[in-house]
Structure 1
Amino acid sequence: MDRDPVSRLIVISNRVAAPKPDGEGGAQGGLAVALSAALREYRGLWFGWSGNRIDEFTGKIDFQRHDGVTSATIDLEEQDVEEYYNGYANRTLWPLFHYRIDLAEYVRSFGAGYERVNERFADTVTPLIDPDDLVWIHDYHLIPLGAQLRQRGLRNRMGFFLHIPWPPARLLTSLPAHEHLVLSLLAYDVIGFHTKEWLESFQNYVERELGGHCEPDGTIHVGERSVHAAAYPIGIDYKEFREAAESEAAQEAFERLRKSADGRGTIIGVDRLDYSKGLEERFLGYRRFLEDHEDWQGEVFLLQIAPPSRGEVHTYEKIRESLDELSGRINGEFAAVDWVPIRYVNQGYGREDLAGFYRASQIALVTPLRDGMNLVAKEYVAAQDPEDPGVLILSRFAGAALQLTDALLVNPYSKEEISDAIKQALDMPREERIRRWRSMNEVVKQEDVVWWRRNFVAALQGEATQDERAAG
C-alpha cells in the first residue's frame, strides 16, 4: 500500500512544460507527460528555463499554477543560451553521451557557460525549497546542479535522473574536466538511469577513474561519499495513452491515414530530427527493402514524421539537408505516378493524432543508433488494435529493447537487417502478431510511468522500491 507523500516534490529540468488542465489537449514530450503526472500525484513545484531570452539575467521568476501544480520559470541571456544550451549541452554532452565523439565540440566557453547557468539555477531556486522537500533534478543539462545546491546549504534528499545513455569510460574520458563533472553527481542521494547498461557504464567509470567501489545493492562509495545508483526504466502514461487512442480525434487521424493509404501498407517512424535517431540509416534500410522485394513496390510506403530539433545547432541543419536529399533521391528512383515510397513530414502532431496514425500503421520502424529509452516504441504498442496489432521493429541499441523483447530487434547500422525485418513483419501471421503484441503490451501496461516514478521517488525517500519489496 502506498502511503500519502508527506514531502513536496521539487522537479527541476532545463525546460518546463506546465501541466495542463483536464481536457486541454496539445502535444507534450514523453518526459513532460511523465513529470506532469508525477506532480499531480505529489503536490509540488516544477522549476526551469522558460525558453525565453533577455538582454540581461535578472533572476525574476514567473509563477504559474495549473491543476494543483505550480511552475516557476526564469529567462536566460543570449550568451547563456548559446554557451550552456546550444553549446555544452547539445554540442558537447549530447553527441558524446550518444557515442558520437566525432561530433562532440570541446570549447572552453561552452563549459564556463554550463557552470554559470547551473549556478544561476541554484541561486534562483534555493529560496523556493523548503527543508523537507524532495528535490528531483533531470537530465544532462543540470548534472552539476545538485552540488551547487549543496554549496548553498541544502541538506534535502536529492535525486538525479539521466534520460540519455551514459557512455563508456573510454569515451567519457575524452571530455575535458570529466572527473569534475562526474564527481558533482556524488552530491545526490539517488542517481537513476533507464537501463542496466547505462548504469554499468557509470559504475565502470567510477571504479576505473575515481577508484570507487560499487556494492551489489547499487550503493556506490567514493572516498567518504556514498550514493545509490540504479536503473529505473521510464514508461508511458498507459491509461492516458489508451484513452487518447480511443478518442474521436484519434479515430479521425486513423481514418485519414487509412484513406490516404488507399489499401497500401503503412510503415511509420516518429522521431525528432536528430542524428542519434538513425534516420538516414532507416531510409537506406527501407531503400534496400524496395530493391530486394520489387513485388512490394507500390504496396507499402514509409511515413516518417520528423519535427525539427535544435535548429540553431549546425549539426541538425546538416541532417535535415541530408534527409531532404535522401528521401527525394529514393522517391525519384522508385516512385510511380500513383505512389511515392516515402512520405517525409517535418512537423509535429498531438498525442491523439499520433495514436491514430500508430493504429493505422502495420509496422513501426523505431531504429535509433543509440537511445536512452525511446517512448515512441511503447506508444506504438499501446495504440494497437488487440485483434489486429501491427509489428514493432526496434533497434537493439534503444533502451526499450531490454523490455520489449518480442519486437523484431535489429542492428540499425545494417541495411540488410532492416530490409529483412520489414519483410518478416509484412509476412507475419496474425496469430504471431497478436502473441508478440500481448507480451509487449503487458510490459508497457505494468511498467508504466506510475511504476517508474513511484520506484524512483521511493528510492529518493529512502524506501524500498516496488521491485525490491517483491524480491524481498
Structure 2
Amino acid sequence: MRHGDGRLGRLLLHVPTNKLSMNQTKDSAGNLIIVSNRGPNDFVWQDDHWVVRPASGGLVSMIDPLARQPDVTWFCCVSEAPPASESRAALFTTAADQTDPEHHIVPVPLPSKIYQAYYGTISNEVLWMLQHHLVGQFGYSALDAERHRAWTDGYLEANRRIARAIRESGIKPRVFLIQDYHLYPLPALLREVFPDVPSLHFTHIPFPGFTMLKLIPQSWRDTIFQGLLGADVVGMQTEWDSRRFLGCCEELLGAKVDYKNGTVAARDGRLVRVRAFSASTNPAALEQSMQSPAVAAARERLAPWTGWQAGKRRDEGKQTIVRVDRLDPSKNQIIGFRAFGRLLELRPDLCRNVRFLAFLTPSRTDLRVYRNYRDAVYTMIDEVNTRFAADCEGEPIQVFYTNDREQALAAMEQCDVLLVNSREDGMNLVVKEWAVVSQRPGVAVISETAGVAATTADSALLVSPLDIEGTARAMERALGMRSEERAARLTTLRESVYSWSAADWLSAQLAELDVTRDD
C-alpha cells in the first residue's frame, strides 16, 4: 500500500541540534505526542531513588529517530513506588536530569497495584495471550473475579490516568501517535478532550479474529473497539491483521465496513481508516552497531561455537543454528528444540557438525505462566542434550539466558541458519536485523504465522509453527543449501529491508495523518 509524502512525513528529514524547553514547546504550533506503556528509558525505584536504564525492544528503536525531534513529547508509564509522594517528585526530577537531552519524556506515574493489574494481568496475561492465539497451559485462562477487577481498576483506570496526565501537562498536542495493546481505550479518551487533534493507534502484535475475541466479555470488546475507533487511523502490522480488525468491527460491533477502501464507520459518523504499516529496523544504526567493541568482544566469546576467527571460518564443516527471542510462549521455543532433536534423529551424521545456539532473553518473570514456561523450555533442552550429548561429543544446544543485544547480533552475523518458529508474531524484527548483519551467508527458517513471512516468502524457508517434522526438514534443507542459493535468498531479503526501514514505517504513518489534517 502506498502512502503520501506529506508535511508530517517530512518531519523525519530534520535532524535536531537541541531540545526546545517546555515553554517553547507550549508556545509552538503544538507537539507531536507519542504515548506508549514503555518509553526510551526504564525507571526503577532502588535504594530510595530512581535508577534510569536504557530500554530495549523494537518499539523504542523504531520510534527513537522521531522522538529526538524538538517538537515531540513522549508520555510513558512508570510503576510508582511507595511512598508515592516522595517517589513521584523524584521521578519528574530524574526524568528531566538523567535522560537523553534530545528526548522530551513525560513519565506517567501509576500506583504499583494499578500498574500490575493494567500491565501484568490484563495486558500480558489476557490480551497478549489472546492476540497470539495462546489458550491453555501457557496462555489465556479463565476470567475470575480478580481479573475482572484488574480490568476495571487497572487497565481502564491506567488509561484514564494517562489521558488525564496528557490533558493536565499543558502541552499543546498537534498529533497523537498511540502505541500498542496496552492503550486500546486511549484514542477515545483523548478524543473527548482533544476532538480536533488527529490520532493514530498502532498495534504492534497480531490482531486476532472475532472468534478469539469472543473469549472475553462483550463489554470488554466494546471498550477495545470503541477505544480504537476513537482514532482517525488504526494501524496494523500486516494486511491480514487489517482485514481481521475490519471483520471484527463488522461481526462484533455491527459497524459498517468498507473492505475495499479499508474504512469503518464510527458511531459519531466519522470514517476511521484502517491501514497496514509493516514495522522495520534501522539498517544504518545496525551497521554502526556491528563496528562496536561490544560486538567484537562477543564474536570472540562465541568463537568456540561458531568457529569464526578474524572474520573467517576455521572449519567449514561446522555449522550453527541460532535463535534470538524473548523466553515467551508465543515464541514457541519448545517446538523449535523438539524439531532440532528430530533433525539429529533423522541425520545422525550432523551430530558432530551442528550446534544450536539459543539466545533467550528473560521476560516477564514476575508472572507465573512465564516462569512455568521457562521451566518447560529448559526441560526440553535438557532432554535433547542428554539424548544426543554422546553422539555430538558435547551438548548440541547451548543456551545464553541474558539480555545481551551485541552478543545476539554477533551470533546472527555468523550463523548458518536463523530459526524463528513463533506461534504468531506481529512482525518479528529479528529476521530483518539478521538480514542486515548476516555475513555467512545464512538461511532463515520462519513460521508462516509471523508477520515478517509476508515479505520473506521468496527468501526464507516457511514452516507451520506446530509442525515438528516439517521444521526439522526445513532446517535440514537450510544446512545443506549451496552457498550460491543462500546468498541469493539473503540478497533478496536484505534489499527489501533497506527499501523499507523504520524511518519509512514512521513516515507512512505521519503521511496518513496528513490526509486527516487535509480532510
- Taking structure 2 as the reference length, what is the TM-score of the superposition? 0.83
Q: Distance in 2 between matches of 1:397 and 1:111?
A: 29
Match of 1:349 in 2: 404
Match of 1:468 in 2: none
Q: Of residues 451, 455, 458 in structure 2, which corresponds to 1:403?
A: 455
Aligned residues: 456
Q: Of residues 8, 15, 33 in structure 2, which corresponds to 1:10?
A: 33
Q: Does 1:282 align with 2:282?
A: no
Q: Distance in 1 between matches of 2:384 and 2:123?
A: 34
Q: Is the 8 A contact 1:268 1:304 kept in 2?
A: yes
Deviation at 1:133, TM superposition (A): 1.7
- Which secondary structure does the structure 1 equivalent of 2:515 belong to? coil
Q: Distance in 2 between matches of 1:42 and 1:153?
A: 22
Moved more, 152-161 or 318-327: 152-161
Match of 2:187 in 1: 146
Deviation at 1:431, TM superposition (A): 0.8
Q: Of residues 160, 172, 176 in structure 2, which corresponds to 1:119?
A: 160
Q: Is the 8 A contact 2:34 2:75 kept in 1?
A: yes
Deviation at 1:463, TM superposition (A): 6.7
Q: Distance in 1 between matches of 2:319 and 2:155?
A: 47
Q: Distance in 2 between matches of 1:333 and 1:54?
A: 50
Q: Of residues 184, 189, 212 in structure 2, which corresponds to 1:171?
A: 212
**Aligned amino acid, residue 299 of structure 1:** N
Moved more, 443-452 or 332-341: 332-341
Match of 2:506 in 1: 453
Task: Structure 2: give runs of 5+ residues left out of the alignment.
Answer: 12-28, 43-52, 308-314
Moved more, 367-376 or 143-152: 143-152
**Aligned amino acid, residue 322 of structure 1:** A
Q: Distance in 1 between matches of 2:182 and 2:271?
A: 23
Q: Does 1:217 align with 2:258?
A: no
Query: Taking structure 1 as reference, are residues 229 and 129 closer, same or farther at Cα in structure 2, changes over 3 Å only?
Result: farther
Q: Distance in 1 between matches of 2:213 and 2:455?
A: 26
* 1:165-199 superposed Cα distances (whole Å, 9 cap, x missing partner): 11111111221121222111111111100001111
Q: Distance in 2 between matches of 1:46 and 1:198?
A: 26
**Aligned amino acid, residue 226 of structure 2:** L
Query: Taking structure 1 as reference, are residues 42 and 432 closer, same or farther at Cα in structure 2, changes over 3 Å only?
Result: farther
* 1:93-127 superposed Cα distances (whole Å, 9 cap, x missing partner): 11111112333242211211110111111111223
Q: Is the 8 A contact 2:203 2:237 kept in 1?
A: yes
Match of 1:48 in 2: 76
Alignment of 1:294-333 (within 5 A): 294-333=348-387
Match of 1:470 in 2: none
% same residue = 28
Structure 1: which 4+ aligned runs deviate by more than 6 Å? none
Match of 1:469 in 2: none
Moved more, 38-47 or 180-189: 38-47
Deviation at 1:18, TM superposition (A): 4.0
Superposed CA RMSD in Å reads: 2.2
- Taking structure 1 as the reference length, what is the TM-score of the superposition? 0.91
Q: Is the 8 A contact 1:245 1:355 kept in 2?
A: yes
Q: Is the 8 A contact 1:18 1:36 kept in 2?
A: no
Alignment of 1:33-112 (within 5 A): 33-41=61-69, 43-56=71-84, 62=92, 63-64=95-96, 66-102=100-136, 103-105=139-141, 106=143, 107-112=147-152
Match of 1:467 in 2: none
Deviation at 1:42, TM superposition (A): 6.6
Task: Structure 1: give runs of 5+ residues left out of the alignment.
Answer: 20-24, 465-472
Match of 2:467 in 1: 414
Deviation at 1:85, TM superposition (A): 1.1
Q: Is the 8 A contact 2:39 2:55 kept in 1?
A: no
Q: Distance in 1 between matches of 2:327 and 2:226?
A: 32
Deviation at 1:314, TM superposition (A): 1.1
Q: Is the 8 A contact 2:79 2:111 kept in 1?
A: no
Query: Taking structure 1 as reference, are residues 243 and 56 closer, same or farther at Cα in structure 2, changes over 3 Å only?
Result: closer
Q: Is the 8 A contact 2:39 2:75 kept in 1?
A: yes
**Aligned amino acid, residue 266 of structure 2:** V
**Aligned amino acid, residue 436 of structure 1:** R
Q: Is the 8 A contact 1:16 1:50 kept in 2?
A: no
Q: Of residues 375, 378, 393 in structure 1, which corresponds to 2:445?
A: 393
Q: Does 1:364 align with 2:418?
A: yes
Q: Is the 8 A contact 2:332 2:421 kept in 1?
A: yes
Q: Of residues 298, 305, 310 in structure 2, which corresponds to 1:253?
A: 298
Match of 1:374 in 2: 428
**Aligned amino acid, residue 299 of structure 2:** F
